[in-house]
Structure 1
Amino acid sequence: MPGTVLLLAASPVGRGRLVDAAGVLPVLAAVAPAVLSGADTANVVELADPLEPQAVLTRLRAAAAAPGPLTVYLTGQLHLDRRQHRPHLALARTTAATVRYTALPWHWIREELRLRSAADTALVVDLHADAEAWKHITAHGLDCGPYTAVYGRVAPPARRGLAEPAYMKTVATLLRSGHRPPLGTLHEQALSRIPEETRGNLLLAHAGGWTAAGTATTAPAAPAVPLGAGPAGGAPGAAAPVIPAQGIPVPELPAPWGPAAARPGDQSGVPVGDQSGVPVGDRPGEPAGRPPADPESVGDPPADPEPSGGSDPHAAISAAVRGGLHEEADGLAARYEEAAARAHGAGSEQALHWREVRADLAMFAGDPVRSCRAWLAVAEARLAAGQAADAPAVEAAVDRAHHQWGRIEDPASARELGPALARLRLRVPGRRRGALENVQRQLGRLQAAP
């Protein structure tokens, strides 16, 4: 099965440029696709200084939906959204005042990769942060999700001049030998060649997976710190800043469903719900959701979709979806939702996460009515819990409900769900202008139809 490689290099045009990101692409492009991927063959997609976050998201989404291993080589710079204080990858048109609208939210990357497995999904990053983003990341980490392997570095803003993507160029140079070692080994080899260029950087080494603990350290070598432990800091030689534990514990389930890894004291976890807030449009004025998985595109149906001891239930659910076993996938997610509700309450993040998973599963199964209804319920639950209308998880739920509503072909069902969506859009307009008006226009046409 061929792999997929996404080469993404982005930085603003003009005075806001911190790093010559696109300068690394010729070096990466000289590496054989199979070596970039680690597979026998690979499809390579290259994005050089893209202009629109929606275009990047479309390419990322397609890469994430492809069967086989996926490696994303990402070079660029990070800025902080001044409104929600979330990291964004700057694109060609990004300025300090337009980050929220012209840059790619980092959590979109995490969100698109969240249903994949760390066994076949990796991010290799060479990132430079502006002063605000650097302060935020050294305090809070860079959340890439627990199911994506991540290797690379985040550098503070250069004191003078344009920075070079030295880490990524070194990685590319090593790969031009025709051999791709394990990414952890490749990461260490690259760092050993450029110790001065990475001094004081945040070094990322997270193998991903259900029970794996990643590390984030500052160079020069601070001791490796497990994910979610220890103090935060950012100065060279200080205690290593750490990426906070990513996710929440999976609830214990009655045998044979409960994973052995989900015991008190374990660091295993699952990602906290849908953090996207993606305001993208498959059609004008309408947010778009992730395209349904192709059941025929990935392997055969598993003989038994339940997770075995210590395994990731998301991997079992994803395998069931890819095999066309949609009822089995939803049934497994429902069991985890019930257990989370018993243990933590129906409005807890643990329970809401599994409700969001089930909303996605309904979309994969081609049931937009059930998916829309589920996303509406998630949005209402988050608002009832006191979350802000512009919180990413709330915006994401309403955006996805909107998208699924637009896919409903039965007029009666669309008329039934439309008023609830319109009420939510009054409270949660989202990032895309005209979303409320879009609902009102479509609902008006439905209600006027015989």
Structure 2
Amino acid sequence: MPGTVLLIAASPAGKGCLVDAASVLPVLAAVAPSVLSGTDTANVVELADPLQPQAVLTRLRAAATAPGPLTVFLTGQLQLDRRQRRPHLALARTTPATVRYTGFPWHWIREELRLRAPGSTTLLVDLHTDAETWQHLAGQPLTGGPGVALYGRVAPPPPRRAMAVPTYMKSLATILRSGHRPPLAQLHQQALTRSYGEDPDSARRDLVLAVEPRYRAGVPMPAPATAHGYAAAPAPAPAPAPMPASAPVPGPAPYLAAVPMPAAPPVTVPPVTVPPPVPTPTPTPAPADPHAEITAAVQSGRHAEAAVLAEQWERTALRTYGPGADEVVHWMEVRADLAMFAGDAELSCRIWLAVADARLTAGQPSDAPAVEAAVDRAHHQWGRIGDSARARELGPALADLRGRVPGRRQGALDDIRRNLSRLGTQVSP
């Protein structure tokens, strides 16, 4: 199966730029796509100094939904937004005062990659920071999500009036230009060794990232109850162990014809009751990770089957953990995305509204990334509902939720009100 490679190099224009991110793209572009991806063939998408967060989101989302392995090479600069203090990838128009609106939030990366099959996604980064962001990341390191391998380094700010060089990513590209792609951990270590050979001081300063997926494809996960059709089939009984070659082979005792043997008196042997053998229980294999099964169903167009699987896992999580648990909300989010993939904007909107309400009911703040993401996605799917009656039905609930969770988009609530007015529905201010 072909892989997908996304090359992103982003940094602000002007004096706020800390790293010459775009300088790495020619070196990466000289590597064969199959080597970048580690697959026989690969599609490569390049983003050089993007201007708009939505442009990056569109490319990342397309790459995340493509079948096959995904490898993201990300070079750039991280900054914190002043209001919520979340790390953002600074884009061409980003300034310290506009990070929240012109940068690309790091948590969007996790959001877009969370539905991919575990172990199929690799994130290689060479990131630089200002002093404030560096201190923040020292206590809250970056992650790519539970199923994503994250390798690279985060560097502190360069000396005043100096421009940092993405030596880690350039070293990575130089190694890959040989045409050989070593295992990921080995590739990472070789890149570090090469880059720190050029800049020994960086070895003492940098924050090195080497995070393997928390779960991988094929790792056993808890199965739903048997009532929902997920009982594991019993494993076949193990074959008997072969007898060692040195063991004596039993056979008849030797017959000594020359020695007369006296007749033995009869011996009465009491009956012996032998207990029946106790059967040895055979282990049952745990089912494979459900995300991979659902992803395969979506990629082959079996949307209804994928939705049924997600519903079964959500019911199992509900029985196991109770309403509002993270595990339950996770499967609600999976179902919302599956409805979107299937083209059912109304169902997707309904589920995202329920996700946002569940998170708020659980006490999460209205500006929490997961809450904002749920409302944003509900809003997006609402705008794609073709049936006016269905849109009128869901509009007031969305407007009420948008009043509590304004999100990052300016005028989002006004947009809902305008559309509801067009649909003939009045909404209280």
> TM-score normalized by structure 1?
0.76
Equivalence for 1:156: 156
- Would you say 1:74 and 2:51 are equivalent positions? no
Q: Distance in 2 between matches of 1:42 and 1:347?
A: 40
- Would you say 1:254 and 2:229 are equivalent positions? no
The amino acid that maps onto 1:323 is S
- Would you say 1:169 and 2:170 are equivalent positions? yes
Report the alpha carbon displacement of residue 75 of structure 1 after superposing the two structures with TM.
0.5
- Would you say 1:359 and 2:360 are equivalent positions? no
Q: Distance in 2 between matches of 1:138 and 1:310?
A: 38
Equivalence for 2:297: 320
Equivalence for 1:343: 320
Please tell me whether the aligned partners of residues 251 and 339 of structure 1 are also in contact (alpha carbons under 8 angstroms): no
| Alpha carbons of structure 1 residues 362 and 2: separation in structure 2 relative to 1, 3 Å | same
- Answer with 425-434 or 190-199: which moved more: 190-199
Q: Which has the larger radius of gyration?
A: 2
Report the alpha carbon displacement of residue 344 of structure 1 after superposing the two structures with TM.
2.6
Q: Distance in 2 between matches of 1:164 and 1:398?
A: 39
After TM superposition, the structure 1 = structure 2 runs for residues 174-323 of structure 1, keeping only pairs within 5 Å, are 174-195=175-196, 196=200, 197-208=202-213, 210=215, 253-255=224-226, 257=230, 309=286, 311-323=288-300
Provide the secondary structure at the position in 1 that maps to 2:205.
Answer: coil
Report the alpha carbon displacement of residue 39 of structure 1 after superposing the two structures with TM.
2.0
- Answer with 383-392 or 184-193: which moved more: 383-392
Alpha-carbon displacement from aligned partner over 1:401-449 (angstroms, at most 9, x marks no partner)? 1111111112221111111111112222221122212211221222279
**RMSD of aligned residue pairs (Cα, Å):** 2.3
Report the alpha carbon displacement of residue 11 of structure 1 after superposing the two structures with TM.
1.0
Report the alpha carbon displacement of residue 178 of structure 1 after superposing the two structures with TM.
1.4
Report the alpha carbon displacement of residue 90 of structure 1 after superposing the two structures with TM.
0.8
Equivalence for 1:140: 140
Equivalence for 2:353: 376
Q: Distance in 2 between matches of 1:132 and 1:73?
A: 24
Q: Distance in 2 between matches of 1:433 and 1:251?
A: 43
The amino acid that maps onto 2:82 is R
Provide the secondary structure at the position in 1 that maps to 2:164.
Answer: coil
Report the alpha carbon displacement of residue 144 of structure 1 after superposing the two structures with TM.
0.5
Report the alpha carbon displacement of residue 89 of structure 1 after superposing the two structures with TM.
0.6
Equivalence for 1:423: 400
Q: Distance in 1 between matches of 2:375 and 2:195?
A: 46
The amino acid that maps onto 1:410 is D
Please tell me whether the aligned partners of residues 117 and 148 of structure 1 are also in contact (alpha carbons under 8 angstroms): no
Q: Distance in 2 between matches of 1:250 and 1:375?
A: 26
Q: Distance in 2 between matches of 1:448 and 1:94?
A: 39
Alpha-carbon displacement from aligned partner over 1:218-256 (angstroms, at most 9, x marks no partner)? xxxxxxxxxxxxxxxxxxxxxxxxxxxxxxx97663247
Report the alpha carbon displacement of residue 211 of structure 1 after superposing the two structures with TM.
5.1
Equivalence for 1:288: none
Q: Distance in 2 between matches of 1:44 and 1:54?
A: 19
Provide the secondary structure at the position in 2 that maps to 1:199.
Answer: helix
Structure 1 spans left out of the alignment, 5+ residues: 213-248, 260-307
| Alpha carbons of structure 1 residues 71 and 211: separation in structure 2 relative to 1, 3 Å | closer
Report the alpha carbon displacement of residue 198 of structure 1 after superposing the two structures with TM.
3.0
Equivalence for 1:11: 11
Report the alpha carbon displacement of residue 339 of structure 1 after superposing the two structures with TM.
2.6
The amino acid that maps onto 1:119 is G
Equivalence for 2:243: none
Please tell me whether the aligned partners of residues 418 and 439 of structure 1 are also in contact (alpha carbons under 8 angstroms): yes
| Alpha carbons of structure 1 residues 178 and 317: separation in structure 2 relative to 1, 3 Å | same
> TM-score normalized by structure 2?
0.80
Report the alpha carbon displacement of residue 136 of structure 1 after superposing the two structures with TM.
2.1
Q: Distance in 2 between matches of 1:2 and 1:61?
A: 17
Q: Distance in 2 between matches of 1:402 and 1:149?
A: 31
- Would you say 1:115 and 2:86 are equivalent positions? no
Q: Distance in 1 between matches of 2:231 and 2:106?
A: 32
Please tell me whether the aligned partners of residues 119 and 216 of structure 2 are also in contact (alpha carbons under 8 angstroms): no
Please tell me whether the aligned partners of residues 94 and 103 of structure 1 are also in contact (alpha carbons under 8 angstroms): yes
- Would you say 1:100 and 2:100 are equivalent positions? yes
Please tell me whether the aligned partners of residues 4 and 66 of structure 1 are also in contact (alpha carbons under 8 angstroms): yes
Equivalence for 1:271: none
Equivalence for 1:298: none
| Alpha carbons of structure 1 residues 67 and 350: separation in structure 2 relative to 1, 3 Å | closer
Alpha-carbon displacement from aligned partner over 1:310-354 (angstroms, at most 9, x marks no partner)? 632211111122222223222222222223223332112221111
The amino acid that maps onto 2:420 is L
Equivalence for 2:244: none
| Alpha carbons of structure 1 residues 448 and 136: separation in structure 2 relative to 1, 3 Å | closer
Alpha-carbon displacement from aligned partner over 1:56-108 (angstroms, at most 9, x marks no partner)? 11111122222222211111111112222211111111111111111110111
Q: Distance in 1 between matches of 2:177 and 2:52?
A: 31
Provide the secondary structure at the position in 1 that maps to 2:88.
Answer: strand
The amino acid that maps onto 2:296 is A
Structure 2 spans left out of the alignment, 5+ residues: 233-284
Equivalence for 1:51: 51
| Count, aligned residues | 365
Please tell me whether the aligned partners of residues 223 and 287 of structure 2 are also in contact (alpha carbons under 8 angstroms): no
